[in-house]
Amino acid sequence: MPTYISGFELAKRAGVKKAIAAAVDGVALDLSGVFPEDSPAEFITADHPLALEIVRHTTSHIMAQAVKELWPETKVAIGPVIENGFYYDFLLDHQITPADFEKIEGKMRGIMAADLKILREVLPKESAVRMFADMSEFFKVELMENLDAAEVSVYRHEDQFVDLCRGPHLPKTGMASRHFKIMKVAGAYWRGDSKREMLQRLYATSWFTKEDLENHLHNLEEAEKRDHRRIAREMDLFHMQEEAVGSVFWHPKGWVMYNALRDYIRKCIQKDGYVEVCTPQMIDKSLWEASGHWDKYRENMFIAESEDRVLAIKPMNCPGAIQIFKQGVKSYRDLPLRMAEFGCCHRNESSGSLYGVMRLRGFTQDDAHIFCTPEQINGETKKFCRLLTKIYKDLGFESFSVKFSDRPEKRTGSDEIWDLAEDLLQKATVESGLEFSINKGEGAFYGPKLEFVLKDKLNRDWQCGTLQVDFQMPEKLGAVYTGEDGERRHPIMIHRAVLGSLERFIGILLENYAGRVPLWLSPVQILFATITNDHDDYATKIYHEFIRHGLRAELDLRSEKISYKIRAGILEKIPIVAVVGAKEVQDNSLSLRYLDGSQEILSAKDALETLMVKCQPPQA
């Protein structure tokens, strides 16, 4: 019979002096828990990937304690870790403002200085419900009433604070990092329901070192400067308004950029063996019922009625692609069939979750569906990974990470089918030479998927590309082909996208490049600006020559100082301003000023030839 000892003792025996938690099979656990003496526990120290999450979660509880000590009537809701920090939701009469942040932070430092022991208790759910009910913590009571569990865990900061939590936490409040900062306060409905209580949400961040905190704050300042909505206004790309919530009004310059990106993707996929299709925007609910979307996705679909029929505006393109596949007789010789669509989709996202072009209700996917045999999954996955790697590199992203998302709790299909799909996709990913992490339970309801995550110049992650293996929808919707043995079989469908959504990817590009996008994507590639109106004729002649050769040019003949015109071009992120004065007219030349501050003088002929090369999109 195994002997159990505490995590503290286990760490001591292993000679790990600065452990803050332990991990068994990748799951983080408190050191106060007990482990078998021969446990294969991995000890979590500051350099472990899970360490900062544990520190931040403990700090969120410290923040909750601080708020309750300052305003005792406070009711606490939830306080999870999020990317780069954490938040906690509170209900209290006092309206928290930024002027309160320093006071809350001071109280938090006092709690850390007290070095309170953090104790975990496992209680019968009924006992915990009574305890929190006696404290009038009704949010905690509601959370537990919705839990299908006989026991729950709570964490105490000695006798000063108690909270419902799964953990894990640091052993003491004094082990939390002092390098933290409360960032903002916002409103949030309890459980996201606009009919429930409006809570006050405090957002904060925490890091191991002062340098890391300062770098994060610097990146936030830089991110604000790079906000794609601000840049879009400066460059006159698009706008959004209340009459069309979650949709984009593309201006001429923004539509130029949109089409340049789409045309580049189109050339890449055509070269890679795709055919392009287009499917209807509104489809009868019977098709969505047959595909499984009506049951799994109904709340996110926009519905319309006509002539006693219920129609749905498509939230995704896959059922439509299958209808095209079903037209005519298909043979194994026709596979793989790569069917691409720049499909406009609409999803009923809550208004509170919308954010510029990063989160929309109406958007266009660079979608494709590959119909293939099980034996072709490997080759098609590797082929797609090569295409995606090339496109990301062309767009300025040299590296990306990959997440493998396996079966979710709510899914269709047998475990045998899921076993096969996950095994085939994982094997293909390994053979593609891509390292990946497991994203447990985050697959689509019909199959496992890969998620491709870009990292931008501010070190932020953006999940963009996806690949999903689907054994089920073609069968549900009656797609068949004739196998080599003459038998009728259902094809496998691979759903895949590189950018994810064109609108969102343009937002990512604008923020990554701070608006200074590659020359081939720029809505205006060169601005001709005259020093005086005496030079207008020459500038106009050269401008028309550039336009005739397919370059995107603008002409500024306003009676303004040349410095004003140059500043206007810089604000609009125009890559090149060609200054035209008396010397340029005399020499038949152009004085070129680039956004990076460099300058050069070229003959008009050389400038045209140089730009015609530089403005070309990457080769497909």
Is 366 annotated in the active site?
A: no
Q: Which residues pair with 118 in a beta bridge?
A: 157
- Beta strand 75-76 with 85-91 is antiparallel
Q: Which of 169, 228, 449, 476 is catalytic?
A: 449
CB 445 within 8 A of CB 417: no
DSSP at 352: G
Give the tokens for residue 499: 């950018």
Q: Which of 149, 139, 29, 159 is nearest to 79 (CA)?
A: 139
Which token pair is 527? 């601005």
Which one is catalytic: 268, 318, 345, 464? 318
Please say if 61 is a catalytic residue.
no
Strands in 151-157's sheet, in edge-to-edge order, are 118-124, 151-157, 162-164
**Residue among 201, 293, 338, 369 flagged as catalytic:** 369
CA–CA gap between residue 533 and residue 582 (Å, rounded): 11
Q: How far apart are CA 29 and CA 8, in angstroms?
A: 11
- Active-site residue, from 365, 376, 472, 525: 365
- Rounded CA-CA distance 377/424 in Å is 7
Catalytic residue among 367, 406, 470, 556: 367
d(CA 231, CA 510): 7
Told to judge if 25 belongs to the known catalytic residues of this protein, a careful annotator would answer: no
Largest pairwise CA distance in the chain? 97
**Sign (positive/negative) of CA torsion 353, 355, 361, 366?**
negative
Residue partners of 209: CB distance under 8 A and separation at least 6 = 179
Q: Which two tokens stand for residue 10?
A: 């286990």
Active site (annotated) includes residue 365: yes
469 and 447 Cβ atoms separated by less than 8 Å: yes
186 touches 201 (CB < 8 A): yes
**Cis peptide, bond prior to residue 315, ω within 30 of zero:** no
3-state secondary structure of 577: strand
* Burial (0-12, 13-18, 19+ Cβ within 10 Å), 520: middle
In 3D space, the residue among 502, 500, 501, 478 whose CA is nearest the CA of residue 490 turns out to be 478
495 is catalytic: yes
Distance CA 231, CA 280 (A): 33
Examine the residue annotation and report whether 461 is marked as an active-site residue of this protein. no
What would the DSSP string read from start to end of 468-527? EEESSHHHHTT--EE-TTS-EEPPEEEEEESSS-HHHHHHHHHHHTTT---TTT-S--EE
Residue 15: how many other CB atoms lie within 10 Å: 7
Closest CA to 176 of 37, 34, 29, 21: 21
Tokens 């076993």 identify what position?
419
Question: Of these residues, 495, 496, 552, 573, which one is catalytic?
Answer: 495
Separation CA 421–CA 438 (nearest Å): 15
369 catalytic? Reply is yes
Q: Which residues are catalytic?
A: 318, 347, 365, 367, 369, 449, 495
